[in-house]
Structures are given as C-alpha cells and as structure tokens.
Amino acid sequence: VFSKIFSHEALESYLPKIQLVIKDTLRAWSSNPESINVYHEAQKLTFRMAIRVLLGFRIPDEELSQLFEVYQQFVENVFSLPVDLPFSGYRRGIRARETLQKGLEKAIQEKLQNTQGKDYADALDILIESGKEHGKELTMQELKDGTLELIFAAYATTASASTSLIMQLLKHPRVLEKLQEELRSKGILHNGCICEGSLRLDNINSLHYLDCVIKEVLRLFTPISGGYRTVLQTFELDGFQIPKGWSVMYSIRDTHDTAPVFKDVDVFDPDRFGQDRSEDKDGRFHYLPFGGGVRTCLGKHLAKLFLKALAIELASTSRFELATRTFPRITLVPVVHPVDGLKVKFFGLDSNQNEILTGTDAMLGATV
C-alpha cells in the first residue's frame, strides 16, 4: 500500500506543493534579520512538508507549530529507557504520543469531512482508498498509526540531509555556481527567476549535476548509520557462521568509507557520480544511503525529490552565508547534524538577483 504513495504519479502531484512549502520557508528565513539554526528550521520544514503535502492536513499555522513542539518531544524520547516513572523520558514520550494522536485524529476527521477543493490525491487518500480496494475499511487507530509512521519517516532523516546540503553549498561555492549554470542551460533559471512551469518531474530528473550533488551529500553525510535484518538461513561470512534467526546490522557509513570504488572518500566531490566516472556503478552495495535489497527505503524517491527541489530554490532565489567564524563539528546521533545546528544568515533576492534589505538595513536604505 505504501509503495503507491511514492509512485511516479504521486510524486508528480506532490511536486507543486513541495515547491510552495519550500518557497514559503526560504522567504521566512530571508526575512529574519538574525541568523537561523538551519537544522532546527529544517526539522520544521520537513514536518510541515509531511503535514501539508503528504497528508493534506489543513491545520492552521499556530496549531501546526504546537503540534511540531509535541512531535519533537515525542521523537526526543523514542529511544529512552522503558522505565515508567514520573518525569522520566519514557513518561514524557508516552504523554507526547497521546497528545500527538489526539491532534492527528482531529485532523483526520476534519479531512474526511471536508473533501472540497482537492486537486491531488495525497498519501492519506491513497492509504484510505487502498484499504477499500482490499475490502478493508481502515480504523481510526490504523489511520493514526499510518499517519504517524509517514511523518516519522519523512522527518529526521530528510532534515539531516537538508542541513548537510546547505552546509556543503556553503563550503563549496563552485558547486553552487555549477548548479546555477545547469539550471540556466536547461531553461529553468532565467534572469534570476525560475521560469514558470519549468519545474516538472521529468525536468528535475534530467538535471544530471544536481543528481550528482544530492548523491554526494548522501554518500558523505548519510543521515542514519545502518539497518537491521533477520537471518533467514544460516550462512558463513569471512569464516564466521551466522545462525538462522539472529539479527544482523549492516553499516551504511562504514560501507561508504571503505568501499574500494570511492576515491578520496573524505572529499566532497559530486563529479565522482558523473557519467565519466560513475563510481557508484561498480558494485551493487557499495553505495546504499537508503539501504538495499527488497527492503530498501520506500520513500527514497520522495526524499531525493525534496532535496532537489530545495537545492534548486537555494541556487535560484537565495543568498546565504555562514554566521559563525568556522563550520561546526558534526555529530552522528541520533542522525547526522551539526552540533550547533549550523547558524546561517539568509538574504532574499529580487528578480535581478539583488539582495533585499531586511530589518534595520531596510529602514536605513529607505531613509537614504
């Protein structure tokens, strides 16, 4: 059922909504006279994308902000010790989940009652219809569980990758320039503006250098460390016997660091995925940011589409610079992110690629 949610047709229908959410977010970042914490704001962005685009909920902004705070408390306590004592992380997580599910139930009920003005089928619509096709009306609890799972899947890892993308564009301005050159050559960017109607799914998929940039971000800064599998049949690996029924963990990061196909593994080099080199084509499981095999990540195409749409907007409509003297250290838990969240100052651009003054600067400019 979930595979339908991430089909080519579904992604095509999500794209305009994703663009709108990203545009609104970058406009808010640029209008802020202070620097922003990119990782925290990216979490808000991916949460908003999940709520507005994937699920089609029409929750007012104030309620959405409150729901985000509750959701963060839920996520922060997911990996707590299962000790149900007052003020424990476990108790806070349980309470946050209960509050969250109440909010989701209200949103689902409002959605089911109000079907007017819909111009696309979102993930929740597909989930409900698929249940009916299989002769099973999904219960409210099942809808809440499916909704929460979709939000969870779209949230932390995509926020992590979005933050890593922005950091690498800051570190490597030539990469940003090459992205802009490709957008111009494909007729997407003209006179500092994204040409109307140019951002279709097929157009985005034709941007080869953009694809290389996203691949390299995910290779060097894979959001999660690895995945688990259960052994279905006893086998031997490098002289060690792995019994049936055991759980095994494969490491994505260690694989990317040690795979012999990648040259200079610590260097950010999108061209390694270019047609001349194609370093990821030399082995099935040398490059696996979304896992591998039959249980590879279902949402990988949506995640890549979101990152590409974000990169296009960053390259087209924004100027941004590091707000600290040096780049922050990276931590790997619970997902990859800068320890200070990455402090960045965004500047809006008008259609002629001139900076739009904000705050005090705007007042001074108007006075002059």
Q: Which token pair is 366?
A: 């108007």
CA distance from start to end of the chain: 60
Which residues sit in the known binding site?
A: 297
Listed in sequence order, the DSSP H helices in the chain are 2-5, 8-31, 38-49, 61-76, 89-113, 123-133, 140-171, 173-185, 201-205, 208-220, 252-258, 300-317, 359-367
> Long-range contacts made by residues 103-108, C-beta under 8 angstroms, separation at least 24?
103/63, 103/67, 103/70, 104/144, 104/147, 104/148, 105/140, 105/144, 107/51, 107/55, 107/57, 107/59, 108/140, 108/143, 108/144, 108/147
Which residues sit in the known binding site for heme?
A: 297
CA 30 – CA 361 distance, rounded (Å):
13
